[in-house]
Structure 1
């Protein structure tokens, strides 16, 4: 006796990248999807699926798009309570807002409270997987993983490591960063649907000794991801040049210390040299585009057209709280706007691919999540494509699914999220 569920609506499944092929060839639309034991079992016409599973419960989402759950490839859950803080650029943002807030995470109860709040907010916006930075307190990672595990989420996170250029209360050491991270890997990596991410905040807050220690840890744990920041703002790049005068460029700092690799996630990556882009493409590392953050704190414009042409692996992310929204719909809208400013009008299929299959590929989770196909985990978001009067009056004129979806991408928020499924389980 199977615990089967059939969902009906317009089911979106990607068979390829809409950056590599026409959207109508990269994507397939189905009438229904059959979920069995938390995974996608089959897609197709409703009568075909009911014949396969005659006792399945049927949930109808007519007029809605059933998409893979959104995947946020770069976030800072400890910044939840300071999102939308006014008037700072990166370095002042860290000193004025981020570091004072992160000091509060020495209290395990506060860390647990914010982890629960963050995941509730992101799930309400249709995000089913996040790769998050924690604070330098090991407990902050424990709290995130415990909250994600309780919700059955596929999630990734790591204790942030920094041993200089930060308040003493937030600094660890090269030794403790290695030891704490190794202990968290042993406790959480590969447990249920959880992934540990080795996390040096960025080059300016780590000594060469700490970067070496974390590079060694990554070499010892090659199935882990590694996340950091790269070339977010011009002042930051100048700071890195002063701190590491022997390095050819910002990326070379990471490479010298064993922190460049295929499973590396490099947040922002806006102001890159030709040498850096060539090395990133060669290694297959992921660039994580954080459009609302890049505009909110004045970092610059990520050139999506150019990066795609270079063959870069690209994910999409909110970067909360430097990013100004928990919503991946708002993030897609910002990516479209920045694309327009850099000469690339991103197609709706490309935008939703970046927020699902593209981010899954960036996180090396494409065998588990990111598209709706047999064998994949049933993390899904159901989007009401007429969720507000403004969207509905635009939607009614749509001539195809992409025209129907685009107004929700540009104007949608959590009101568009009709239902979220995590491993096949509907959230209330």
Structure 2
């Protein structure tokens, strides 16, 4: 079974609750239908203020990005917006503040997740939450039966961490958490996240049709030729990928991974263009880094959540970084479908993939390595010659 959208939404219905915010009190004996212009003006003014508030737009975009990542990972039973609609509560024990989402895991566990965009600052990478906000959100989680977690999006690296409120440190009126400490206690594995690695490089080759090549113009120092593309290839570590599922995965990794891209034309002995290779490979700042990749046989692409977030931001942001949409409808279980659980059981793979699940210290399943940042990985694919 896969996740699917539960409500398509209807603008005519969804706009009705906004009337209460636009017109909070009755106006004498006037009919509500007679206050249409007043309602439109109030909603329009509020919308304009939000569209002009870049921090608010970024916050909403980040919230939708998290939702899309969870849906694309496809490892939960349900995700639902929690902080919409009215609620009433007994304030004897203080304020209650709903978090952004309720998530139900496959084992029935309820998670309540507050999403925060952590922008880089001059003082370093540190998430900050007002202490009173965290307290009221924790009170809501206790009242409604769910475990509160914070989904922190570190925008500089486009990385997600999912952390318990207990890992924050109180500093005055704020709860704070550094990026380094967040990584150590990251629980994104609960949502099906993991890290991918493969043998470098991945190459997309455009192959010329030599039979259709012709001279267009002869010049004093050379000539102009018309070239026709005869075909394309995807290669993993120099081996041609022919399986459609592997091609789809390789293409996704090349498009949304953070390996560097280079273009390299290939010529024959007569100097004629044979093919153009677009090579994707990890950056190796020194010889030790290159040697380590060679010895272990793979290089990391990053987490599935990061790869999908880069895809999401590309779809919702212009080349100049301006927001053109808050959300893109996610494709349920897209990431799970790219690498199905039986991927490693299929013989004869060309694209060898390693998948690592990361656990905080002391939380990994029985029989797996322990320690902060410990990993669990399926066996790597056998080489084509096996």
Q: Same fold (TM over 0.5)?
A: no
Please classify the TM superposition score into its range, dividing by the shorter chain length.
under 0.3
Greater Rg, structure 1 or structure 2? 2
